[in-house]
């Protein structure tokens, strides 16, 4: 049995000495994680996070893939496909199927909600000093788990492609990215998508390294020997399954199949057809049932998400597309599409590509494109990353919508962020290549240079945790206690309408219809012919609108003018069914109901 002296000796000068820096690094990371979670963990601020979370809660409660955030466009698509269902063609009286979200992330959250004790109710005693919503903290911790798993895979991939030094520094700058920490508590599926993307790249690297070539002498013998077609088919099948899972995490990321297939065509001669065919078949097996479900319900394989190209065009500016109560838009204008692509591509090229992951290391990656590696495998993997950046940048430009305006940077339409670990690996690889050229001859030169670069890369995160401390509540417009209080006034079978139905669905747990594009005739059509609307809830999203361009001149801002009429002139439109106003929320918020529910004792 080892004595205490022997154990100490082993860690001082023996084989255990190399574990001391690792243990110190782990303890440092745990400390940073604890400090960040205590100080900077914030509530949800993006539409998609609240939307997918309330969807997951419905799944966990046995209500299926149904949503409380009801889009008028979704209603129109359902009615168009179910003309034989005369009683409820828009699915307002029963569970409303979700047509906007990919299913994998909400189903994962539903499993978590089944396992862990989620507390949806906000006690009235906490509402005055409210800071964080407990379910959002738990969802954030789940995403931090994905983030840590990404760091582990980043280390494995960087060590395989370069060496231990590159691997460690890549992990440090990844864990020091303030942007990725913010995504961890955003409630979005970004970290999950990043983990799947990293796994795909690791499999592609195995395929590339396993392919015999005369120009690849640095490979180990077992990697250079001829692999059987079954090996390529197996790995390519796994890639296809993961691409399908990635698409079911976020539809737009399914376009990563393009650089994957190009990678096969360019760099796997003799095996390209096997890999290409197996990957496509495996991917289709994963996604086909879900796409068929959407097609049967809405007439579109991607539901309302299939209309992404229409967003922010001259026909549908801002968020008007999903508030439209008609399903037939005709063909999108080619001129509008080109204009949208060029406008958004310019912004992406200027502000996002040079700072992928929110770090200047992306500039090192871009500069490294001018420096070829002697290892041809690294050049091939870097070409894959470049192809992925080009494809995702185009898709991001074409599919941009109001989501990027409501929550800039931290949103599901920031596709390039999933490539952050790959960009950092190659950026750090170039740094070490340049460091070797400096020929620094003082003791510990490489260590101090790495410490300098790592510290500079982590500066943004450091400043984030320093004072002043920001409020974790994203108000305006979101106030969870207030939204839940309003939701408690209504029964589960009643219908509200709001300019932030995603928040009412998440915090209030009630069915909420998005404001229709027009007050007349859309509002009255729904209320009179399909289901009565029992409450209208307007927030600073509407009440803080621009006076001239949005309230006076805009044909679709009737709700802003309604707020002005009630606030300034105490005047309601003739025949409007919601006649009771709660003055306690004015002027920044407006609540209209069919009867004075706030007098019923609901909290």
pLDDT in tens, 260-282: 999 999 998 888 899 999 999 99
Q: Tell me, yes or no, whether 159 and 291 share the same domain.
A: yes
Q: Tell me, yes or no, whether 243 and 358 share the same domain.
A: yes
Question: Is residue 93, in this structure, part of any structural domain at all?
Answer: no
End position of a domain, from candidates 439, 465, 491: 465
CA dist 258 and 249 (Å) reads 17
Q: Tell me, yes or no, whether 274 and 347 share the same domain.
A: yes
End position of a domain, from candidates 432, 465, 498: 465
Question: Is residue 444, in this structure, part of any structural domain at all?
Answer: yes
Residue whose entry in the numeric block shows the structure tokens 């582990």: 152
Q: Helical H runs in 415-479? A: 420-438, 445-457, 459-465
Contact 67, 303 (CB under 8 A): no
Question: Is residue 66, in this structure, part of any structural domain at all?
Answer: no
Quote the pLDDT of residue 115: 92
Q: Tell me, yes or no, whether 397 and 438 share the same domain.
A: yes
Quote the pLDDT of residue 219: 45
Question: Is residue 65, in this structure, part of any structural domain at all?
Answer: no
Give strand pairing partners of 512. 69, 496
Least confident of 18-22, 92-96, 184-188: 18-22
With vertex at residue 391, the alpha carbon angle to CA 388 and CA 393, rounded to the nearest 5 degrees, is: 100
Residue 218 has pLDDT above 50, yes or no: no
- CA max distance for the chain: 90
Question: Is residue 52, in this structure, part of any structural domain at all?
Answer: no
pLDDT in tens, 423-435: 999 999 999 998 8
Residue 58's nearest CA partner among 509, 531, 494, 504 is 509
Residue 236's nearest CA partner among 200, 290, 191, 209 is 200
Contact 401, 319 (CB under 8 A): yes
Question: Is residue 340, in this structure, part of any structural domain at all?
Answer: yes
pLDDT in tens, 13-67: 556 556 666 676 677 777 777 777 777 788 899 999 999 999 999 999 999 999 9
* Domain of residue 13, residue span: 4-39
Q: Tell me, yes or no, whether 404 and 493 share the same domain.
A: no
Question: Is residue 61, in this structure, part of any structural domain at all?
Answer: no
Residue whose entry in the numeric block shows the structure tokens 């109001």: 402
With vertex at residue 598, the alpha carbon angle to CA 597 and CA 601, rounded to the nearest 5 degrees, is: 100
pLDDT in tens, 152-185: 999 999 999 999 999 999 999 999 899 999 999 8
Q: Tell me, yes or no, whether 193 and 227 share the same domain.
A: yes
Q: Rounded to the nearest 10 degrees, how much is the dihedral formed by the CA atoms of 197, 200, 206, 207?
A: -130
DSSP per residue over 29-77, as a string?
Answer: HHHHHHHHHHHT-----SHHHHHHHHHHHHHHTT--SEESEE-HHHHHH
Q: pTM for this one?
A: 0.92
End position of a domain, from candidates 402, 432, 465: 465
pLDDT in tens, 125-143: 667 788 889 999 999 999 9
Contact 39, 395 (CB under 8 A): no
Question: Is residue 379, in this structure, part of any structural domain at all?
Answer: yes
Q: Tell me, yes or no, whether 431 and 484 share the same domain.
A: no
Contact 149, 7 (CB under 8 A): no
Q: Tell me, yes or no, whether 421 and 485 share the same domain.
A: no
Residue 382's nearest CA partner among 223, 150, 161, 153 is 161
Long-range contact list for 363-372, CB < 8 A, 24+ apart? 363/427, 364/426, 364/427, 364/428, 364/430, 364/431, 365/423, 365/424, 365/426, 365/427, 365/430, 367/430, 368/426, 368/427, 368/429, 368/430, 368/433, 371/430, 371/433
Q: Tell me, yes or no, whether 283 and 414 share the same domain.
A: yes
Q: Tell me, yes or no, whether 458 and 500 share the same domain.
A: no
Domain count of the chain? 3
Q: Tell me, yes or no, whether 432 and 541 share the same domain.
A: no
Considering only residues 568 and 424, tell me which one the structure prediction assigns the higher pLDDT.
424
Q: Tell me, yes or no, whether 340 and 203 share the same domain.
A: yes
Residue 602 has pLDDT above 90, yes or no: no
Residue 348 has pLDDT above 90, yes or no: yes
With b for 16 or more beta-carbon neighbours within 10 A and e for fewer, the 444-468 pattern comes to: eeeeebbeebbeebbebbeeeeeee
């Amino acid at each position: 049995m080892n004595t205490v002296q022997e154990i100490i000796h082993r860690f001082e000068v023996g084989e255990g000495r190399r574990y001391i820096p690792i243990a110190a690094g782990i303890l440092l990371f745990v400390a940073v994680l604890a400090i960040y979670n205590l100080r900077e963990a914030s509530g949800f601020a993006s539409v998609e996070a609240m939307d997918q979370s309330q969807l997951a809660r419905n799944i966990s409660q046995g209500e299926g893939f149904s949503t409380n955030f009801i889009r008028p466009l979704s209603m129109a698509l359902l009615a168009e496909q179910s003309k034989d269902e005369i009683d409820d063609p828009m699915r307002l009286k029963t569970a409303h199927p979700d047509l906007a979200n990919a299913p994998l992330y909400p189903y994962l959250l539903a499993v978590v909600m089944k396992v862990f004790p989620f507390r949806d109710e906000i006690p009235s005693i906490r509402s005055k000093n409210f800071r964080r919503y407990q379910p959002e903290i738990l969802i954030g911790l789940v995403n931090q788990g994905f983030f840590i798993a990404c760091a582990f895979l980043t280390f494995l991939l960087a060590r395989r492609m370069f060496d231990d030094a590159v691997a460690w520094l890549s992990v440090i700058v990844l864990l020091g990215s303030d942007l990725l920490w913010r995504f961890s508590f955003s409630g979005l599926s970004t970290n999950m998508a990043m983990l799947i993307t990293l796994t795909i790249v690791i499999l592609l690297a195995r395929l590339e390294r396993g392919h015999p070539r005369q120009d690849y002498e640095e490979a180990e013998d077992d990697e250079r020997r001829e692999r059987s077609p079954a090996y390529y088919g197996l790995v390519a099948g796994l890639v296809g399954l993961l691409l399908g899972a990635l698409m079911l995490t976020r539809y737009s990321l399914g376009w990563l199949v393009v650089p994957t297939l190009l990678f096969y065509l360019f760099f796997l001669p003799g095996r390209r057809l096997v890999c290409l065919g197996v990957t496509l078949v495996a991917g289709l097996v994963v996604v086909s049932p879900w796409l068929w479900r959407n097609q049967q319900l809405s007439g579109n394989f991607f539901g309302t998400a299939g209309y992404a190209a229409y967003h922010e065009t001259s026909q549908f500016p801002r968020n008007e597309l999903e508030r439209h109560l008609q399903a037939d838009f005709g063909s999108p204008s080619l001129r509008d599409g080109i204009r949208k692509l060029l406008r958004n591509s310019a912004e992406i090229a200027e502000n996002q590509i040079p700072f992928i992951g929110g770090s200047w290391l992306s500039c090192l990656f871009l500069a490294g494109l001018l420096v070829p590696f002697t290892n041809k495998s690294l050049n091939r993997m870097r070409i894959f990353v470049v192809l992925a950046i080009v494809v995702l940048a185009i898709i991001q430009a074409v599919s941009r919508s109001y989501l990027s305006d409501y929550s800039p940077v931290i949103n599901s339409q920031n596709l390039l962020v999933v490539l952050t670990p790959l960009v950092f690996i190659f950026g750090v690889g170039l740094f070490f290549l340049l460091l070797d050229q400096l020929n620094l001859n003082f003791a510990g030169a490489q260590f101090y240079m790495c410490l300098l670069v790592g510290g500079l890369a982590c500066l943004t995160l450091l400043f984030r945790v320093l004072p002043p401390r920001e409020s974790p509540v994203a108000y305006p417009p979101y106030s969870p206690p207030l939204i839940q209080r309003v939701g408690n006034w209504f029964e589960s079978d009643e219908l509200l309408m709001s300019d932030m139905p995603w928040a009412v669905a998440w915090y209030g747990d009630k069915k909420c219809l998005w404001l229709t594009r027009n007050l007349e005739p859309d509002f009255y059509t729904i209320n009179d012919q399909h289901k009565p609307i029992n409450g209208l809830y307007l927030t600073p999203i509407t009440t803080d609108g621009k006076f001239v361009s949005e309230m006076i001149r805009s044909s679709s801002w009737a709700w802003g003018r309604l707020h002005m009429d009630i606030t300034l002139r105490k005047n309601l439109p003739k025949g409007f069914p919601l006649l009771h106003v709660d003055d306690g929320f004015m002027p920044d918020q407006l609540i209209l109901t069919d009867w004075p529910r706030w007098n019923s004792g609901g909290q």
